[in-house]
Amino acid sequence: MTRHIERQVELLKEKILRLGTLVEEAISKSITALINRDTHLAQRVMASDEEIDRMEVEVEEECLKMLALYQPVAADLRFVVAALKINNDLERMGDLAKNIAKRVSQLSTGEPCELPPEIRTMAMQAQEMVKQCLDAVVNSDPSLARQVREEDDAVDKARQEIRRTILQGIRAHPEKLENLLRINSVSKHIERIADMATNIAEDVIYMVEGDIVRHRSGD
Amino acid sequence: MTRHIERQVELLKEKILRLGTLVEEAISKSITALINRDTHLAQRVMASDEEIDRMEVEVEEECLKMLALYQPVAADLRFVVAALKINNDLERMGDLAKNIAKRVSQLSTGEPCELPPEIRTMAMQAQEMVKQCLDAVVNSDPSLARQVREEDDAVDKARQEIRRTILQGIRAHPEKLENLLRINSVSKHIERIADMATNIAEDVIYMVEGDIVRHRSGD
| Number of C-beta neighbours around residue B205 at 10 A | 23
Min distance B148 CA to chain A CA atoms (Å): 21
For an interface test with A, the pick among B58, B170, B195, B213 (most A C-beta atoms closer than 10 Å) comes out as: B170
- Dist. CA A12–CA A79, nearest whole Å: 10
Q: Determine contact, residues B149/B202, Cβ cutoff 8 Å.
A: yes
Between the CA of residue A108 and those of A34, A96, A102, B20, what are the distances in Å? 10, 19, 11, 42
C-alpha B38 chain-centroid distance: 21
| Number of C-beta neighbours around residue B172 at 10 A | 9
| Number of C-beta neighbours around residue B113 at 10 A | 18
- Dist. CA B135–CA A141, nearest whole Å: 41
CA nearest B176 in A: which residue? A171
Between the CA of residue B216 and those of A41, A64, B146, B211, B219, what are the distances in Å? 25, 20, 12, 11, 6
The confidence band for A81, taking pLDDT boundaries of 50, 70 and 90, is very high
Q: Which of A64, A77, A167 sits opposite B177 (nearest CB)?
A: A167
**Averaged pLDDT of chain B:** 94
Q: What is the pLDDT of residues B74-127, one digit of tens each?
A: 889 999 999 999 999 999 999 999 999 999 999 998 788 899 999 999 999 999
Q: Determine contact, residues A148/A132, Cβ cutoff 8 Å.
A: yes
Q: Would residue B122 count as lying in a domain?
A: yes
Measured CB to CB, residues of chain A less than 8 Å from chain B are 50, 53-54, 56-57, 60-61, 63-64, 67-68, 71, 73-74, 77-78, 81, 84-85, 88, 167, 170-171, 174, 177-178, 181, 212, 214-215
Q: Determine contact, residues B158/B116, Cβ cutoff 8 Å.
A: no
Min distance B152 CA to chain A CA atoms (Å): 17
The confidence band for B217, taking pLDDT boundaries of 50, 70 and 90, is low
- Dist. CA A130–CA A93, nearest whole Å: 9
- Range of the structural domain that residue B78 is part of: 2-209
Which residues in chain B have their CB less than 8 angstroms from residue A50's CB? 215
CA dihedral sign, ordered B27, B33, B34, B35 = positive
* pLDDT score for B113: 87
* pLDDT score for A116: 94
Upper half-sphere CA count for residue A136 (Cβ side, 13 Å): 29
Q: Would residue B219 count as lying in a domain?
A: no
Q: Would residue A137 count as lying in a domain?
A: yes
Q: Would residue A203 count as lying in a domain?
A: yes
Which residues in chain A have their CB less than 8 angstroms from residue B61's CB? 212
pLDDT at A124 over 90: yes
Q: What is the pLDDT of residues B130-171, one digit of tens each?
A: 999 999 999 999 999 999 999 999 999 999 999 999 999 999
Q: Determine contact, residues A99/A32, Cβ cutoff 8 Å.
A: no
Q: Which of A50, A74, A171 sits opposite B174 (nearest CB)?
A: A171
Q: Would residue A30 count as lying in a domain?
A: yes
pLDDT at A191 over 70: yes
Rounded average pLDDT over B193-201: 97
Min distance A181 CA to chain B CA atoms (Å): 9
CB-count exposure of residue B190 (10 Å: 0-12, 13-18, 19+): buried
Q: Which of A57, A84, A171 sits opposite B177 (nearest CB)?
A: A171
Give percent of chain B with pLDDT exceeding 90: 87
- Dist. CA B62–CA B57, nearest whole Å: 9
* pLDDT score for B213: 81
Which residues in chain B have their CB less than 8 angstroms from residue A170's CB? 170, 174, 177
End-to-end CA gap in chain B: 36
For an interface test with A, the pick among B52, B54, B67 (most A C-beta atoms closer than 10 Å) comes out as: B67
Q: Would residue B63 count as lying in a domain?
A: yes
Smallest CA-to-CA distance from A189 within B116, B107, B26, B192 is with B192
For an interface test with B, the pick among A170, A184, A191, A219 (most B C-beta atoms closer than 10 Å) comes out as: A170
Q: What is the pLDDT of residues B20-30, one digit of tens each?
A: 999 999 999 99
Q: What is the pLDDT of residues A19-29, one digit of tens each?
A: 999 999 999 99
Q: Would residue A217 count as lying in a domain?
A: no
**Averaged pLDDT of chain A:** 94
Q: What is the pTM of this model?
A: 0.93
The confidence band for B1, taking pLDDT boundaries of 50, 70 and 90, is low
* pLDDT score for A201: 97
Q: Determine contact, residues B113/B142, Cβ cutoff 8 Å.
A: no
Please name the residues in contact with A164: beta carbons below 8 A apart, sequence gap of 6 or more.
Answer: none
Q: Which of B50, B68, B167 sits opposite A178 (nearest CB)?
A: B167
Which residues in chain A have their CB less than 8 angstroms from residue B162's CB? none
* pLDDT score for B112: 83
Whether residues B78 and A57 touch (CB distance < 8 A) is answered with: no
| Number of C-beta neighbours around residue A155 at 10 A | 24
- Dist. CA A53–CA A32, nearest whole Å: 22
How many cross-chain Cβ pairs, A to B, lie less than 8 Å apart?
66
Measured CB to CB, residues of chain B less than 8 Å from chain A are 50, 53-54, 56-57, 60-61, 63-64, 67-68, 71, 73-74, 77-78, 81, 84-85, 88, 167, 170-171, 174, 177-178, 181, 212, 214-215
Min distance A110 CA to chain B CA atoms (Å): 14
Number of folded domains that form chain A: 1
Min distance B40 CA to chain A CA atoms (Å): 24
* pLDDT score for A179: 95
- Dist. CA B142–CA B137, nearest whole Å: 9
Smallest CA-to-CA distance from A205 within A147, A161, A141, A154 is with A141
Whether residues A68 and B77 touch (CB distance < 8 A) is answered with: yes
Three-state secondary structure readout of chain A:
CHHHHHHHHHHHHHHHHHHHHHHHHHHHHHHHHHHHCCHHHHHHHHHHHHHHHHHHHHHHHHHHHHHHHHCCCHHHHHHHHHHHHHHHHHHHHHHHHHHHHHHHHHHCCCCCCCCCCHHHHHHHHHHHHHHHHHHHHHCCCHHHHHHHHHHHHHHHHHHHHHHHHHHHHHHHCHHHHHHHHHHHHHHHHHHHHHHHHHHHHHHHHHHHHCCCCCCCCCC
* pLDDT score for B219: 47
Which residues in chain A have their CB less than 8 angstroms from residue B68's CB? 73-74, 77
Between the CA of residue B146 and those of A96, B190, B200, what are the distances in Å? 25, 20, 11
Q: Would residue A107 count as lying in a domain?
A: yes
Q: Give me the CATH number covering residue A93.
A: 1.20.58.220
Torsion angle in degrees (nearest 10) through CA of A47, A89, B147, B84: 150
